Amino acid sequence: MTQSEFVNLVMPFKDKLFRLAKRLLVSTEEAEDATQEVLMKLWDKKKGIHGYRNVEAFAMTMTKNFCLDRLKSKQSGNLKLVHSNYADERSSLQKEVEVHDSVEWVGKIMENLPEQQKLVLQLRDIEEYEYDEISEMLDMKPTAVRVALSRARKAVRDQLIEKHSYGIQ
């Protein structure tokens, strides 16, 4: 595989690798390092890379494992949501502040979710992977992926409702 073939293969999902690393690691610099390490490992495996059914899923799994190993080695439990796919140039400043606040709250809520639910929510709702791809990446049964996603969404929804109701039931 030539360098240009490799670049054409991995560049379309490089940003997804970074976002997953950013989700799992605390700093942007660490996420950049993790992404670079995964890309280097993929380059080292370039001769056998076509043997994988889904190179993107393989790379996402490598990223997840690399980040979790790094977190374990640092004894760090701080996982942070710093991602928003939302952008609307026509929004008013107030709307932008509200959206930013909501994204921050979702991030805070996600920090308290179990690891598996956090990953499933990230991969499905933010990265927009299909259930079977998530199942393969996380080595879970598709039913377990759906259950984890449902529980994660319910936890986020319940806590957002509680936050926005200001204690009024």
Q: What is the mean pLDDT of residues 44-59?
A: 87
pLDDT band for position 80 (cuts 50, 70, 90): very low
| Chain segment 137-159, per-residue pLDDT in tens | 899 999 999 999 999 999 988 88
| Chain segment 98-116, per-residue pLDDT in tens | 767 777 877 788 888 898 9
Residue-range domains of the chain with CATH:
1-80 (1.10.1740.10), 85-169 (1.10.10.10)
Tell me the HSE value of 19 on the side-chain side, using a 13 A CA sphere: 14
Q: Quickly list DSSP for the chain.
A: --HHHHHHHHHHHHHHHHHHHHHHSSSHHHHHHHHHHHHHHHHHTGGGGGGSS-HHHHHHHHHHHHHHHHHHHHT-------------TT--HHHHHHHHHHHHHHHHHHHTS-HHHHHHHIIIIIS---HHHHHHHHT--HHHHHHHHHHHHHHHHHHHHHHHHTT--
Q: How far is CA 161 from the centre of its chain?
A: 24
Global confidence as pTM: 0.51
Is the confidence at residue 77, as pLDDT, over 60? no
Angle between helices 28-44 and 55-74 (to 10 degrees): 130
Is the confidence at residue 90, as pLDDT, over 60? no
- Mean pLDDT for the chain overall: 81
